[in-house]
Structure 1
Amino acid sequence: MPFIGRPERSLRELYQDDPERSDALLWGRRGALKGAALASLGAALGAAIPFGRHLPAGLLPAALAQPAAVGDAPRMVKLEGKAPLILQGERPLNAETPETLLDDDVTPAERMFVRNNGQVPEAPADPQRWRFRLDGEVNTPLELTVGELGSGRFPLVTRRLQLECGGNGRSFFSPETRGNQWGNGAVSCAEWTGVRLRDLLQAAGVKESGKFTGHFGADPHLSGDPERQAISRGMRLEKALDEDTLVAIRMNGQPIPLIHGAPLRLVTPGWPGSLSQKWLTRVLVRDRPHDGQGMGGTSYRVPVAPIVPGSRNDGSGFRDLESMPVRSVLTNLANGTRLPAGTRGLDLRGQAWAGDRTVRAVHASVDFGTTWQEMRTDGPPNRHAWQRWSGRVSLPSDGYFEVWYRATDSDGMMQPHVAANWNPQGYGSNAISRAAILVG
């Protein structure tokens, strides 16, 4: 449970209304948290702040920045067969996994986030007879059933693959952007079994003109109009030919749950989850970028050059979001954790991933980023799987602390201190995360 109650007028509310005045009141002109200001902030947090001198001016403490700090806890939803998830939207249904439920090396179905763009279709009477077509710029179009895909005609492979919503981390953008205000939990790493899309494309014989794919599913549009697609995205052929891009028929050794795309879905790991079409019915090979629902403009696209945060934009000068940026989650301590007096060390544990890349290092800090300690980072069991990190940090006394954690990928790209490259629909946010901890 969070340890912060509701003050008569919280710092979070004050910052929302007038951040400049809030800085002046709390930090003064020098921008240093000292004296009465430090004492006042400690009173608001309910504890002394041992590293308060390092708290950056203008940075609202994590305990006060969370909705639960002002009596507005996230709305939870309990779906059939699922753990309690954070409800992000009811129409379409979208729900986020709390970070502390992402501790499994292989994400169980009940802990997997839910992301929809339209309605959930009816379950097929006979999943084995579900039909899938691959056509377009190919020499020999294919039409196969789920049963045929699993019959051995094409090799079946099993891989642990991370899927992440393109808007994961959207809530960290300032100013706020459009879309579900995801935290870090729109991600999973299940074990998928299926046929490589590459093998199907090779069997169909892609023509020299084939450069892109377009994906189609059976999910009805929210309007109910059968002529409209809920979502229909596509990718460069190079990603379709990646050995880890699967036409999946099983998840964690079982038939895929309906809410996660049964009986057939694409799994396009490392790229926005919208490319992992659920309830898959067709892959179209094209000679140009796909123009389906969710393509072009500002949809799943980010600026090539920075734009003014909060500005309007039609997507000119944008590029498609492809490999997702490096990110980490802390899975054994929730924001707002209270620990017994005398606790002088924290064991930390979590997951980290980096789109098409791997994670080279994870660091943690308990003094507001003044010093960082490298954690142990395990290698991935296979490409496109997330990586376990763990370690221990020391605490000098009782009081209020924040665990900051950040990952660095194999190209040296590190999570930034604040969400960067603002865009109207809030894609690609991967700022350093923070968890408030109260000792005593």
Structure 2
Amino acid sequence: MRTERSLAELFVVDPERAEALAWGRRGALKGASLAALGAALGAAMPFGSRMPGGLLPAALAQPAGDAPVLRMDGKAPLLLLGERPLVAETPETLLDDDVTPADKMFVRNNGGIPERFAADPGTWRFKLDGEVNTPLDLSLGDLEARFEAVTLRLQMECGGNGRSAFVPETRGNQWNNGAISNCEWTGVRLRDMIRAASPKDTARFTGHFGADPHLSGATDRAAISRGMPVAKAMEEHTILATRMNGQPIPQLHGYPLRLIVPGWPGSLSQKWLTRVTLLAEPHRGQGMGGTSYRLPVRPIVPGSQNDGATFADMTSMPVRSVLTNLAHGARLPAGTRRIELRGHAWAGDEEARAVHVSVDFGATWQEVALQPPPNRYSWQRWSGAAELPSDGYFEVWHRATDAQGRMQPHVAANWNPQGYGANAIGRAAILVG
């Protein structure tokens, strides 16, 4: 005799089937379905009737703490997404600092980690060549002596941040929202070096090269080698960094020299930098072309195959927010009726204009305070509070809007095979009582 599971049990072991049974054809969550959801979540759902049709609760859709933890000297307990190459995500609650400490910076490698440069870091060599009249071949010491130093707080975000929100699942590391940092970088402007090299009129693009080895061990292949339009290279916040948060850059993050291209995909911020070349045509290095760091110009069918021939390179990262003082899956004491909320928002080349939060599944939203950035390309602190009517299961939703009026969507949009640019609203499940 076949024993049928209760709907509450089914939400735990087979959420897709449970969701279909709960919502049925009309997409309205009522009566027994609402009770079953509450049982599965372990609490009543005061705003359950306001949940949009077909939406799975965040507590079931995004299990808290389900990734292994990176254990490494000098690093906080990050979420380990891959070991070869090494990839680790920063939990949102570790992103509460205005300036991201080195130990809390996310890790994204494309190849191996080179041996630490053992000589005087001032002797590290860097070249700027290609479509220039005066190629440069300088030591790091020459670089620092010859060009003005600047210190800026700059966001760096992986192009795949938020990838886990895509349905169906795409290729690549399944980031949540923690592939972001906002460190204080010190270095020299790339544009000052380009001007010193006297670029030709044909200089339209850059190509970047680093010392990280290819995972295969092949010496004739780069682990990652991307490039950008010269206009972005000439932007005053694009720098060759020698220090991070006032200290030498940690080996894991590019010691002794790293390119920082804020607001655009972090893959452009070449670690262990050895060379930048100026080109008349777009760079054809590893990580360029096809579907690599490229987005559909026109929407494609989710889950379909595509060679990326009609895609365009990613440029400015989309608007996004993180909640940093309250973890997904948090349990709060019975009787809690007011919750303080804070986090950060950013928007690639733009500033964030507003942040809103909701605790009733998006039925109503309230605007919270948003601070201006200390300099362009730094993230912005937001803070506020929300009132809860009772004990039970709630979700804190948060969304940011950029200066152009573009808002985080409710679901990840513009599906693409490698899962870039997903910036769905943030959802954190909490249980009160």
Instruction: State the TM-score, normalizing by the size of structure 1.
Output: 0.95
Question: Which one of the candidate residues 204, 228, 237 is aligned to 2:230?
Answer: 237
Find the counterpart in structure 2 of residue 67 from structure 1: 63
Find the counterpart in structure 2 of residue 380 from structure 1: 373
Task: Provide the rounded CA distance (Å) in 1 between the counterparts of 2:206 and 2:255.
Answer: 21
Task: Provide the rounded CA distance (Å) in 2 between the counterparts of 1:402 and 1:23.
Answer: 18
Task: Provide the rounded CA distance (Å) in 2 between the counterparts of 1:431 and 1:12.
Answer: 24
Task: Provide the rounded CA distance (Å) in 2 between the counterparts of 1:383 and 1:26.
Answer: 47
Query: Quick one: which amino acid aligns to residue 83 of structure 1?
Result: A
Q: How does 1:262-277 map to 2 (within 5 A)?
A: 262-277=255-270
| 1:25 equivalenced with 2:21 (yes/no) | yes
For residues 230-275 of structure 1, the C-alpha deviation after alignment (integer angstroms, 9 at most, x for no partner) is: 0000000000000000000000000000000000010000000000
Q: How does 1:2-41 map to 2 (within 5 A)?
A: 9-11=9-11, 13-16=13-16, 18=17, 22-41=18-37
The answer as to whether partners of 2:362 and 2:397 remain within 8 angstroms in 1 is yes
Task: Provide the rounded CA distance (Å) in 2 between the counterparts of 1:262 and 1:429.
Answer: 30
Question: Which one of the candidate residues 121, 131, 145 is aligned to 1:137?
Answer: 131
Question: Which one of the candidate residues 141, 149, 157 is aligned to 1:147?
Answer: 141
Deviation of 1:27 (Å): 2.3
Task: Provide the rounded CA distance (Å) in 2 between the counterparts of 1:322 and 1:301.
Answer: 9
Structure 1 residue runs of 5 or longer lacking an equivalent are: 1-6
| 1:309 equivalenced with 2:302 (yes/no) | yes
Q: How does 1:164-313 map to 2 (within 5 A)?
A: 164-313=157-306
Query: Quick one: which amino acid aligns to residue 48 of structure 1?
Result: A
The answer as to whether partners of 2:8 and 2:37 remain within 8 angstroms in 1 is no
Find the counterpart in structure 2 of residue 81 from structure 1: 74
Task: Provide the rounded CA distance (Å) in 1 between the counterparts of 2:392 and 2:130.
Answer: 63
The answer as to whether partners of 2:209 and 2:270 remain within 8 angstroms in 1 is yes
Find the counterpart in structure 2 of residue 120 from structure 1: 113
Deviation of 1:30 (Å): 2.9
Q: Given the superposition, is the C-alpha separation of residues 102 and 219 from structure 1 closer, same or farther in structure 2, using an over 3 Å criterion? A: same
Per the alignment, in what secondary structure is the counterpart of residue 418 of structure 2? coil
The answer as to whether partners of 1:23 and 1:57 remain within 8 angstroms in 2 is no
RMSD, aligned CA: 1.2
Per the alignment, in what secondary structure is the counterpart of residue 64 of structure 1? helix
Deviation of 1:59 (Å): 0.7
The answer as to whether partners of 1:128 and 1:145 remain within 8 angstroms in 2 is yes
Deviation of 1:85 (Å): 0.4
Task: Provide the rounded CA distance (Å) in 1 between the counterparts of 2:213 and 2:72.
Answer: 20
Deviation of 1:10 (Å): 4.7
The answer as to whether partners of 1:171 and 1:183 remain within 8 angstroms in 2 is yes
Task: Provide the rounded CA distance (Å) in 2 between the counterparts of 1:327 and 1:352.
Answer: 6
Query: Quick one: which amino acid aligns to residue 53 of structure 2?
Result: A
Per the alignment, in what secondary structure is the counterpart of residue 63 of structure 1? helix
Find the counterpart in structure 1 of residue 41 from structure 2: 45
Deviation of 1:150 (Å): 2.0
**Matched-pair identity in %:** 70
Query: Quick one: which amino acid aligns to residue 387 of structure 2?
Result: S
Deviation of 1:12 (Å): 5.9
Structure 1 residue ranges (4+ consecutive) displaced by more than 4 angstroms after TM superposition: 7-10
| 1:90 equivalenced with 2:83 (yes/no) | yes
Task: Provide the rounded CA distance (Å) in 1 between the counterparts of 2:20 and 2:340.
Answer: 36
Task: Provide the rounded CA distance (Å) in 2 between the counterparts of 1:33 and 1:118.
Answer: 47
Task: Provide the rounded CA distance (Å) in 2 between the counterparts of 1:138 and 1:12.
Answer: 61
Per the alignment, in what secondary structure is the counterpart of residue 230 of structure 1? coil
The answer as to whether partners of 1:327 and 1:354 remain within 8 angstroms in 2 is yes
Per the alignment, in what secondary structure is the counterpart of residue 420 of structure 1? coil
Deviation of 1:15 (Å): 3.7
Query: Quick one: which amino acid aligns to residue 148 of structure 1?
Result: D
Instruction: State the TM-score, normalizing by the size of structure 2.
Output: 0.97
Per the alignment, in what secondary structure is the counterpart of residue 349 of structure 2? coil
Task: Provide the rounded CA distance (Å) in 2 between the counterparts of 1:156 and 1:119.
Answer: 30
Per the alignment, in what secondary structure is the counterpart of residue 14 of structure 2? helix
The answer as to whether partners of 1:12 and 1:60 remain within 8 angstroms in 2 is no
Task: Provide the rounded CA distance (Å) in 1 between the counterparts of 2:179 and 2:9.
Answer: 31
For residues 286-314 of structure 1, the C-alpha deviation after alignment (integer angstroms, 9 at most, x for no partner) is: 00000000000000000000000000000
